[in-house]
Chain A
């Protein structure tokens, strides 16, 4: 009994002896268990979940482009036994490592067959163009694919000295080489064909150079040639829509009264091209007339030509004062392609553009990369009564603007390799295979841009913890990632149209997520202000706790030492 009481007293005594220590520990525990989580919870910025793993996967881009090639042998190109042994299909793959994060794989699926009777008939037309048209009537090939008809060497369809004819659609005619008759083994026949087919495909679908240029958003231009760089700089970057503006500049309405039937010209020259390019982007066309709009450079009088000249060196200064008048597009944020038709006033007329060697440029026009084109249209103002009515020959004007537009939109008209003959591109101004070629590069470019946008957004969000990620942003990022995966998948399958569509969606959604204003709300909240607010409370509260904890720790460390001393 007594012992019990003594025991209890001992406990009490111990409690009183350590009371201060226990209190300090309890306060520290409350601060850590309640205070810190409360503070953490209330100062947290809302960050919705992002598909980081999938984004990281996209950062390592492995693109596979599949092209379906159909090789059709017409009569007289293969011997009978070869025809029997001919393999139904053949797959060829090329692998390229562009970058440590980007790999490309091209997959060509070649199918072989012999021509049907109707195709034989079509191939017996007198000219290649006619053959091309009648072949097209027979079958429609899906976008992205290529059909190559091998015609016998003796065929008269192809003109003399031409071994490949590239048609309006997705067909090409290939003259069977000389060695094909001689070659005995089918393998050799196919191998000799293969080199030609490779070249045809480089012209009609894509070349490695185009694809790497399209990847310029991801890949640093390392060893690319200057010319290739200039080529890729000329075209506008891929965008889901473009605004095309034709402006007629009339610097002196008192002397010239200009009439241009731009509406008819657009509908007959520009609109067919644009409606053909509808899968690539949306286009909207405007036209306007600007009065008292002058160029930024005073043209120089050249007595030898008896005309005023604008030198190529000074052309870069021409646009600036005009641009202020052009007005940006109020209705959308798509890039604007400007085409200016400048009619010089009578005091500076005629006006010619000269190149670096001081020769006049026959088209009298120039283009500015990623901006548009300018054409100078001279007028014979011989009328006595001012203002003179001038009707502008829109055929001439559009003949200049249409190729410029093609260049700006990225339709490349590279010189064909020797032995190639490119057929006329038809009334749309764009052959089907040209469109395919554009769509290959554009979808690859879109994928590249969208992946860089998404990955850099993910990086940014990762680095700056202050940014609020709302649910709608997370949703946009997820859908952009989903569309990207779909686009990559469609490219792999060789479904070009769908790939283009998904890549456009991906680029739209990724840009919308990247430029969402809600990301900026807390971005610039400075840390020093935060500390200025926290310090008056946290410093006086934490210092005693920390000190007492330190003291306790030193006591605990000392006590075993004391115990040892006692033992000794």
Chain B
């Protein structure tokens, strides 16, 4: 191919030089408008919704006991085969109705406290335990701590792996419904020790083989269709950029990481039916700070990290089916029954992800086990499709109802966010459930109604659960503005240069906090890094840390990582200019006039929590607990993604090479023909013939008999 193509070009070039100068008709589309992809409207109203109450260890004893009771109800299924736990449960159930005098020994109390802790923190562990900005030692210590805290009490049965499933439904302020599935499989085995034979029970075999073959320490993959509108919807539980995102930490025993990465992407694209095989060195980076391991382990050398985003990837049913197949119950039982693709993809936002990481097996953390988390986040737009009525039910969203839990799951729960509706004045939830859970999610205390699917009473008479929520009020309360928010767009005109603008909003009224900004830009946008400016509140804001890796043409993308301090209540603008490169004609996509995608920038931050923001609220908490704002939940880790960019590159007319060839060949042929004639023909002088006038005159003269003219 190459030889032949170069020959064509040589030919064309040769002919151009030979006869005429042909200019390629490069299309120059006038692009005066800045190519903004998406701009959020920033609501300006200041929210003063009082933050909801928080459960803490220092709550009053009575409240606490009530809490224990509810938690017991939800945890009944955990250790069915264990006598000791059963015993604890029994005593706890006794405390359920009236607060009886606590006649428990110390160990039980200990168990109680732990249970509460676990229940309140179970949602946030994934986002909380990767604080990348802290210094290393603290970081590692925190990893260990966090992952230890996320551990359930392992049921002391012989089963070495366990499975949990849950669904969180959150009515969003925009009227949309956010449904988030999480499936967690934990497997107590050590891939790292490398025993050859592998026996899988709940953990999917294909993933286990991938982990052991490529020596993967952590694997995070997400497929997202649609863009998460932070300003309307608040924060997602698990953020993900549009398209496909893959980041992998390899073990430090891997010698050729690039080769392993290449093979891994190919295998994963086979497993998930996705075009992950388009990941190559031109879109792979090794971020130095933004993506730290989320599991246990102290490898932080970025040589073993690979990160790639494919913003163009379209996510559809063919990606969902293999994802569902990885669940132990498939889509036959449990919460996965709800996943009907025609409903899931008829939504405003769809994101499915898979996270594998090593976690601690127990409190001592002497050995590790593997955790596989499969998450599916969907936002349904039921407000517009429901003829203006604000009401939703499981059946309306998924066209199915729940009939049973997955029999393999140790816990199977449905959570409905009722934080905004403490007294039931805003909406009505049916069937009513006695179980209530509180948790600090993304720095905000939330209250959830819990449906425990392992309890047969949940399904009631009809043997099916169809959670239904009907609004009473027409308008829900104001949404708390997200503290951190990011936007990005391309400015400039013409097809030669442009400017990338990234706006990072800090909406906290008085606290400044640092964020890590990660930008990967393909090589065909040549960044002028000297034009990089960071301004906030009209003043220059010098980043305290910049990691820049310049691109190499057709080899590696630009990588720009910055640690920026965001002043309170401000917008920080990062701009950098770029030049658009001319691609080779085979490097263009089949639809080059659509434009080229540039992946989202990633903003990672430790955000001060909303709970800590509220230091004036003394009604619900004792005074002694609320003087210093520093608490366990005072900051939380958050990662947000901006919009991907769509940039037009100068696009040639692709029939140009052939046109040039034809045109020049014709010109050459004409020139060559005349030249050839000149060279090969012999010319002879011919007698000039008489003019027409003379001949006519002669004819007339002949008729008249006059002598002819000579």
Please list the residues of chain A having a beta carbon within 8 angstroms of any beta carbon in chain B: 16-17, 19-21, 23-24, 27, 39, 42-46, 245, 253-254, 259, 262-263, 266-267, 284-289, 291-292, 325, 327-332, 387, 521-522, 525, 530, 532-533, 536-537, 539-541, 544-545, 548
Query: Distance in Å from the Cβ of B558 to the closest Cβ of chain A?
Result: 30
Q: Which of B204, B267, B665 has the most A CB atoms < 10 Å from its CB?
A: B665
User: Can you name the residue of chain A whose Cβ is closest to the Cβ of B668?
Assistant: A537
A42 touches B679 (CB 8 A): no
Write the B1-14 contact mask toward A (1 if CB under 8 angstroms, else 0): 10110111011000
Q: What is the bound-complex CA distance between A107 and B328, given in angstroms?
A: 57
Decide yes or no whether B666 CB sits under 8 A from chain A.
yes
B198 touches A286 (CB 8 A): yes
With A17-B682, A43-B4 given, can you name 20 additional A-B contacts, CB distance below 8 Å? Answer: A16-B682, A19-B682, A42-B7, A46-B3, A245-B205, A259-B158, A263-B199, A267-B197, A285-B197, A287-B197, A288-B200, A288-B205, A291-B328, A292-B329, A328-B206, A330-B210, A331-B213, A525-B4, A536-B662, A540-B670
Q: Which of A16, A20, A45, A331 contacts B209 (CB 8 A)?
A: A331
Q: Which of B1, B197, B213, B333 contacts A525 (CB 8 A)?
A: B1
Q: What is the bound-complex CA distance between A496 and B408, given in angstroms?
A: 51
- Note all chain A residues with C-beta closer than 8 A to B197: 263, 266-267, 284-287
Query: Distance in Å from the Cβ of A15 to the closest Cβ of chain B?
Result: 11
Query: Distance in Å from the Cβ of A275 to the closest Cβ of chain B?
Result: 11
A544 touches B676 (CB 8 A): yes
Q: How large is the interface on B (under 10, 10 to 19, 20 to 34, 35 or more residues)?
A: 35 or more
- Note all chain B residues with C-beta closer than 8 A to A16: 682
Please list the residues of chain B having a beta carbon within 8 angstroms of any beta carbon in chain A: 1, 3-4, 6-8, 10-11, 15, 158, 196-202, 204-207, 209-210, 212-213, 267, 270-271, 325, 328-330, 332-333, 404, 407-408, 658, 661-662, 665-666, 668-670, 672-673, 676-677, 679-682
Known: A23-B680, A43-B7, A288-B199. A325 touches B661 (CB 8 A): no
> From DSSP, what is the main secondary structure of chain B's interface residues?
helix
Q: Which of A263, A328, A329, A536 has the most B CB atoms < 10 Å from its CB?
A: A536
- Note all chain A residues with C-beta closer than 8 A to B330: 291-292, 325
Q: What is the bound-complex CA distance between A45 and B3, given in angstroms?
A: 7
B206 touches A327 (CB 8 A): yes
Q: Which of B202, B270, B404, B666 contacts A536 (CB 8 A)?
A: B666
Query: Distance in Å from the Cβ of B304 to the closest Cβ of chain A?
Result: 20
Q: What is the bound-complex CA distance between A532 and B658, given in angstroms?
A: 9
Q: What is the bound-complex CA distance between A292 and B679, given in angstroms?
A: 87
Query: Distance in Å from the Cβ of B254 to the closest Cβ of chain A?
Result: 15
A44 touches B3 (CB 8 A): yes
Q: Which of A20, A45, A259 contacts B682 (CB 8 A)?
A: A20
User: Can you name the residue of chain A whose Cβ is closest to the Cβ of B657?
Assistant: A533
User: Can you name the residue of chain B whose Cβ is closest to the Cβ of A545?
Assistant: B676
Q: Which of A42, A387, A537 contacts B15 (CB 8 A)?
A: A537
- Note all chain A residues with C-beta closer than 8 A to B676: 24, 27, 544-545
A537 touches B665 (CB 8 A): yes
Query: Distance in Å from the Cβ of B268 to the closest Cβ of chain A?
Result: 9
- Note all chain B residues with C-beta closer than 8 A to A545: 676
Query: Distance in Å from the Cβ of B568 to the closest Cβ of chain A?
Result: 49
Q: Which of B8, B202, B333 contacts A533 (CB 8 A)?
A: B8
Q: Which of B8, B201, B267 has the most A CB atoms < 10 Å from its CB?
A: B201
Q: What is the bound-complex CA distance between A287 and B199, given in angstroms?
A: 5
Query: Distance in Å from the Cβ of A142 to the closest Cβ of chain B?
Result: 29
Q: Which of B1, B197, B666, B677 has the most A CB atoms < 10 Å from its CB?
A: B197
Query: Distance in Å from the Cβ of B204 to the closest Cβ of chain A?
Result: 8
Query: Distance in Å from the Cβ of B250 to the closest Cβ of chain A?
Result: 15
User: Can you name the residue of chain A whose Cβ is closest to the Cβ of B268?
Assistant: A330
Offer 13 A-B interface pairs, CB within 8 angstroms, sorted by A: A19-B682, A27-B679, A44-B3, A286-B198, A287-B197, A288-B200, A288-B205, A329-B209, A525-B4, A536-B661, A537-B665, A537-B669, A544-B680
Q: What is the bound-complex CA distance between A97 and B507, given in angstroms?
A: 88
A286 touches B209 (CB 8 A): yes
Known: A521-B1, A525-B1, A537-B668. A286 touches B199 (CB 8 A): yes
A292 touches B682 (CB 8 A): no
Query: Distance in Å from the Cβ of A43 to the closest Cβ of chain B?
Result: 5
A291 touches B210 (CB 8 A): no
- Note all chain B residues with C-beta closer than 8 A to A266: 197
- Note all chain A residues with C-beta closer than 8 A to B662: 536
A544 touches B673 (CB 8 A): yes
B201 touches A289 (CB 8 A): yes
Q: What is the bound-complex CA distance between A506 and B10, given in angstroms?
A: 42
- Note all chain A residues with C-beta closer than 8 A to B333: 253-254, 292
- Note all chain B residues with C-beta closer than 8 A to A245: 205
- Note all chain B residues with C-beta closer than 8 A to A27: 676, 679-680
A20 touches B669 (CB 8 A): no
A291 touches B408 (CB 8 A): yes
Q: What is the bound-complex CA distance between A289 and B670, given in angstroms?
A: 77
User: Can you name the residue of chain B whose Cβ is closest to the Cβ of A20?
Assistant: B680
- Note all chain B residues with C-beta closer than 8 A to A20: 679-682
Q: What is the bound-complex CA distance between A42 and B267, given in angstroms?
A: 38
- Note all chain B residues with C-beta closer than 8 A to A44: 3
A330 touches B206 (CB 8 A): yes
Q: What is the bound-complex CA distance between A267 and B196, given in angstroms?
A: 12
Query: Distance in Å from the Cβ of B183 to the closest Cβ of chain A?
Result: 14
Known: A286-B197, A292-B329. A533 touches B658 (CB 8 A): yes
CB-CB nearest 10 A-B residue pairs:
A540-B669, A536-B665, A331-B213, A292-B332, A23-B679, A20-B680, A537-B665, A288-B200, A331-B209, A42-B7
- Note all chain B residues with C-beta closer than 8 A to A328: 206
Query: Distance in Å from the Cβ of B210 to the closest Cβ of chain A?
Result: 5
Q: Which of B1, B404, B670 has the most A CB atoms < 10 Å from its CB?
A: B1
